[in-house]
Amino acid sequence: MYGPENSIAPLEGITVVSLEQAVAAPFATRQLADLGARVIKVERPGAGDFARGYDETVKGLSSHFVWLNRTKESLALDLKTERDRDVLQRLLQRADVFVQNLAPGAAARLGFGAGELRERRPELVCCSVSGYGEGGPYTKKKAYDLLVQCEAGLVSVTGTPETPSKAGISVADIAAGMYAYSGILSALLRRERTGEGASVEVSMLEALAEWMGFPAYFTMYNTRQPPRTGASHSAIAPYGPYGCAGGETVFLAVQNEREWERLCREVLGDAGLATDGRFRTNTLRVENRRELDRELERALADLAVSEAEARLDAAGIANARLRDVRGLLDHPQLAARDRWREVGSSVGPLAALLPPANLSGHEPHFGSIPAVGEHNAKILAELGLEARS
């Protein structure tokens, strides 16, 4: 799958300086580091990125921080001081990319706004990640993941009919980080062709609004928005969890009429169900979901979950077991594909997953997770400056 470890990494020679904290920007820059970029993470002296203090679960380290910050170099700077602002300005004279996700306007007030930086160095790629973007009534509004999920309408379509729920992961941060990552790559590709850098702006709200495309169009051209359906699908049936013998559950998904017919004939043993007037089309099945679910649960109730899975697989019907997080960690597919590696840290080696994009000829280099200011002496020496005592 991967080539020799000494092959040229896609972003080898690219230096990224990131004034970052929490999730969105660190997620973007970690992926740049996975591709071989040198990522210098600028943190506050002492406590550093506040995500370091979210928990102490990973042998005393924060689970968020371990996930998002491998391979980076940590430079601790107090940007309230002229001396440390000068250090960052010097560093940016050598950088290819500058990323920041400070509070709205904070980077510009410190002298690190994209316009000012690119006026001096037009070839620089500057990426700003914010909650709601520049301009408009929400420019200065505080934006945390849950709150953006609410503003984007995600919470209104997630959960059970009775209870709206947020996503179980930081989906607004992750969406923004993914668009920052791809936006930076696009800007670097254009720079290779034109020599010109770019200002890339990503907001969490707009990133998540893109991911809300299905419910947005459904609502725009309908009289109502998609209902909350728990683990089922608001617009496809059958789709979701169904009980089997012994209290176990199988999840299945039917995407078209051919699959519906095969499910009835080969799994449920009732070919006539496929042409039942209540269930002939997906729209009818959604309208009559309760009756449909009763038919499926009646047919599956006496099957062990392993037998139900075997029948579904043989019929070509997509299915899954509900795994918890430990089930993901122990997933046989991840093990079979050799997806786990190790990274170094101040508390010893830690497990890490390979990036999802498998690039032939490139084995990602997993560097250690840095301590706050661990690389100050090295980076300051490169700039011809003395490390502070």
Strand partners, 249: 243
Q: Can 233 be counted among the known catalytic residues?
A: yes
Which residues have C-beta within 8 Å of that of residue 139, sequence separation ≥ 6? Answer: 104, 132, 133
What's the rounded Cα separation, in Å, for the pair 335 and 36? Answer: 25
Q: Which two tokens stand for residue 32?
A: 């740049």
| Residue among 84, 94, 140, 83 nearest 117 (CA) | 94
CA atoms lying within 13 Å on the CB side of residue 269: 8
Percent helix / strand / coil, the chain, rounded to 5? 40, 15, 45
What's the rounded Cα separation, in Å, for the pair 316 and 256? Answer: 12
> Among the options 64, 233, 362, 375, which is catalytic?
233
Q: Which two tokens stand for residue 242?
A: 């169904």
Q: Which two tokens stand for residue 136?
A: 């408009």
Helices marked H in the chain? 24-34, 63-68, 82-92, 106-109, 114-120, 145-151, 171-194, 204-211, 213-220, 257-262, 282-287, 289-300, 305-315, 325-329, 332-336, 376-382
**Active centre residues (catalytic):** 233
